[in-house]
Amino acid sequence: MCGLSGIWGGGYADSNIVGRMVNCLVNRGPDDVGVWTDADAGLALAHRRLSILDLSPAGHQPMVSPCGRYVLVYNGEIYNHADLRADLECEGGSFAWRGHSDTETLLAALRHWGVQRALERLNGMFAFALWDARERTLYLARDRMGEKPLYYGRNGDTFLFGSELKALVVHPAWQGEVNRDALALFLRHNYVPAPWSIYRGIFKLPPAHFVVISEGGKRVGAPQCYWNLAEVAKRGVAAADGDPQALADELDGLLRDAVRRRMVADVPLGAFLSGGYDSTTVVALMQVQSSRPVKTFCIGFYEEAFNEARHAKAVAEHLGTDHTELYVTPEEAMAVIPRLPEIYDEPFSDSSQIPTFLVSQLARRHVTVSLSGDGGDELFCGYNRYVLGYQVWSKLRLLPRPLREMLAAVLNRAPGHALDVLQGKLPQRFRVSNLADRLPKLAEVLAHRDGQSFYRSLVSHAKNPDQLVLGANEPDTILNRPDGLPSLPGLREQMMYLDMLTYLPDDILTKVDRASMAVSLEARVPLLDHRVVEFVWRVPTEYKYRNGQGKWLLRQVLYRYVPKELMERPKMGFGVPIEHWLRGPLRDWAEALLDEKRLREEGYFKAAPIRRMWEEHVSGKRRWHYYLWDMLMFQSWLEVQQKSRGMADRREKSLVSMVAG
């Protein structure tokens, strides 16, 4: 795993500048650093290396092709690189391999097949930049599912790109302006969705796309798709069929191979183990293919509602892994919060970012690579919205819309807090918890026109973020563009498709990448092998959701390795009690960031509605912790950016004074 950065044009293609940019990414690559420049073209590339395969200097980057035409900087792992080497040699290519790194294989593949055809052959997670010196063309590309990040865009006269925004921000000509439209999207989703970033004019390259830059960095083409998830889904559901036993056999074989390929490393390797279906499947398939106990890692919390450690320990004992667990106090978890703006580099507010960092930190004390079970919910119908949400909408849609709108109006006017107080006098079995929250949410559900708007509401935090962000005009996304959806059988399939395209790369995989890379740990995700994704879309939905349960087919595979009775327990999210922390130990910190005078002076948020939410949450009248955590993560990020900008301005003034003197 690595970090990369680059500059083209604007008179800044200097090795010292690009080196300073990439050195901001030292956590992504602590083992080696390299810089390459083309003075005539005005281009500079830089790379930080975390050595995983071929620890020798033969894997050093930027890597120049033997013919001298191509230069590559690359972040990730190509799991089929040995197969690609064999294919290249079979096709008659002349390759004098310098080492056994996948970087060298990738460069040879790009040279031999060209960018599009090479990308179609890759099985891996990656982001890379390829310079074609003869054509004076730069290519940027990203893996199919979006496991590895890549930002790019023009800043004044200069084209910049890098693995994280922090590499771009230290460029001496940086003029970053907060994109208020992207801020509105952030408040809706708790992440800034691709292709936007928090800065105007700087973009995330979408998963499964590449982009071509030419004319000295002045011409930036539209991103081109090389693997279309919409087509994968359409073809898959059209061909969905098969005997469940045969499908389970095929899935077992695919997952075994995906796991096996991700176990190849020249450094110590282990796995995250929560004890849930996804991580347990990955670890079970690792252990059955390993000659020694697999190293597994889990963190525990003393609050039982958030603790998965005892389940993970039971699974580890059954599988015979070398298991390490660490119980974390609330104080230790909250100590991570000041580091979040630096780790995530743009506003990001999935609160499970905290335990994800902690388990990565634990694993890095023992290994350099860790396999993860992410992706199982999106692939195998695991989220509650696919089950309970689908059932709610299936019933509500039978009511005439005028009646639903009338009921919604009544619920919106209901005094929820007063009802909460009154029902406190009833026996416990007759009470409905948090009516003040539930009644407005039920009103929102009743008012929706169709399944797609219902789904958008389910995955939204702020329902009208334009009303919270000054000067914002929330952009359209695929979530509110019906014409952007492929033709799929029903709402459940549409939800899984949309999550796979949005929530998975922009939330789940972003969270794992930043948390693991913050401690120089490479995280690998075998369930997202593109062959598995293509197979799962060919599985009938009735074998994903069956007998009232999601992940049915995945369970059938897992039960071959782990007893069913060890796994049967309610689904538990990987979270922390933010709701209670904001009313308790984090109250002063939050109050300072959400101070009304401060909000008005900064000029990003409308102060009145935010103060109302904060006061209602603190008093216990409403639970606004999801909304508030979004705003607090932006405020915390903004504070760090302002301090960094102040330091940069002082350094620049000092330099001017020295020159003048």
DSSP string, 154-193: EETTEEEEESSHHHHHTSTT----B-HHHHHHHHHHSS--
Q: Is 102 exposed, middle or buried (0-12, 13-18, 19+ CB in 10 A)?
A: buried
Residue 409 sits at φ, ψ, to 5 deg, of -65, -40
- Do you know the residue count of the chain? 661
Residue with tokens 């033709």: 487
The dihedral over CA atoms of 51, 54, 55, 60, expressed in degrees to the nearest 10, equals -70
CA distance from start to end of the chain: 45
Please, which residues have CB within 8 angstroms of residue 612's CB and are 6 or more apart in sequence? none
Question: Hey, which residues are catalytic here?
Answer: 2
Asked whether 211 and 220 are in contact (CB, 8 A), the reply is yes
Cα–Cα distance, 348 to 510 (Å, whole number): 9
CA 39, 40, 42, 46 dihedral sign is negative
Amino acid at 15: S
Contact criterion met (CB below 8 Å) for 573 and 352:
yes
Six-digit token string for 560 = 């071959």
Specify whether the backbone of 372 is left (phi greater than 0), alpha (psi in -120 to 50) or beta: beta
CB 112 within 8 A of CB 119: no
**Pair of tokens at residue 76:** 């990730």
Sequence-ordered list of residues with C-beta below 8 angstroms from that of 124, at least 6 positions apart, any chain: 76, 77, 78, 79, 80, 81, 102, 143
Rounded Cα gap, residues 470 and 485, in angstroms: 31
DSSP 387: I
In angstroms, how far apart are the furthest CA atoms of the chain? 82
DSSP string, 499-516: HHHTHIIIIIIHHHHHHH
Burial class (CB in 10 A: 0-12, 13-18, 19+), 605: buried
**Distance between CA atoms of residues 238 and 538, nearest Å:** 8
Q: Is the dihedral of CA 80, 85, 86, 87 positive or negative?
A: positive
CA distance 540 to 555: 15
Three-class DSSP category at 390:
helix
Annotated binding site for ATP: 299, 372-373
Q: How many CB atoms lie within 10 A of CB 96?
A: 5
DSSP-based three-state secondary structure for 74: strand
Beta strands in 363-500, from DSSP E residues, in sequence order: 369-371
Known binding positions:
102, 299, 372-373
Q: Is-contact 124 80, C-beta < 8 A?
A: yes
DSSP 549: B
Q: Can you say which residues are annotated as belonging to the binding site for L-glutamine?
A: 102
